[in-house]
Homo-oligomer: A and B are copies of this chain.
Amino acid sequence: MPNGGTTRRRADAERNIAAILDAAADLLARAPDVGVGDIAKAAGVGRVTVYAHFPSREDLVRAVVARAIEESMTAVAAAADDTTDADHAADADDTVDAEEAFARLIRESWPTLGRYGRLHEAALRALPAEEVRGHHERPMDAVRALIERGRSTGAFRTDLDTGWLVTTVYALLHAAADDVAAGTLDRDRAADVLQATLLSVLRPASPPPTPRGT
């Protein structure tokens, strides 16, 4: 059993880590190139304390990304769970089900993504793109499962690979967050815009128009 000193030191460390991660998330969301010194200042600790917990700026960015993904997973899991519910009887309308489940997933996960502003940009500057994409594997697995369910019932298109459809969702969610951070997309309209855009991609393709008079 740890003595009082050890317990207190551990509590101090946990409080510092939380303060550093909060400050880093907040600053990176607005200024992707912010340095460790400014993060330490905002967290109310010294640079040495930051480096004691996160040996490099890269490690700190990695930890902030991991925590943001954890947070978005809570929202995504809630939306996804709902859609695997056995109560969705076979005679329910599959198309409406799939579209509603997808819309719910966008609506539940958008607030987290929107709040993290330019964090994705910060992550792409500090970490290899492959690693950044890898961090998104779990939420994107939930997106993949939803898309596959929609494809199996004919609600979603099958002329494009599932992998590409998942890429489309991933790319446009982050593009929307970038546009909101840049002030070119209204934060309050972003979920509607994403839903309209992504459902247009996911719905079975309509035949191309034929020229008049043919």
Residues of A within 8 A of B (CB): 32-33, 93, 95-96, 99, 118, 121, 124-125, 128-130, 159-161, 163-164, 167-168, 170-172, 174-176, 178-179, 182, 184-185, 193, 196-197, 199-201, 203, 205-206, 208-212
A168 touches B164 (CB 8 A): no
A33 touches B121 (CB 8 A): no
Q: Give the docked Cα–Cα distance between A206 and B211 (Å).
A: 19
Q: Give the docked Cα–Cα distance between A118 and B168 (Å).
A: 18
CB distance from A165 to the nearest CB of B (A): 8
- Take A96-B211, A209-B93 as given contacts and tell me if A159 and B124 are in contact as well, using a CB distance cutoff of 8 Å: no
A130 cross-chain contacts in B, Cβ below 8 A: 182
A185 cross-chain contacts in B, Cβ below 8 A: 161, 163-164, 167
A210 cross-chain contacts in B, Cβ below 8 A: 96
Ordered by A's residue number, 23 sampled pairs between the chains whose C-beta atoms are within 8 Å are A32-B129, A33-B128, A96-B210, A96-B211, A99-B208, A99-B209, A118-B129, A125-B125, A125-B129, A129-B178, A163-B179, A164-B179, A164-B185, A164-B193, A164-B197, A167-B176, A168-B175, A168-B197, A171-B171, A171-B174, A171-B175, A199-B208, A203-B206
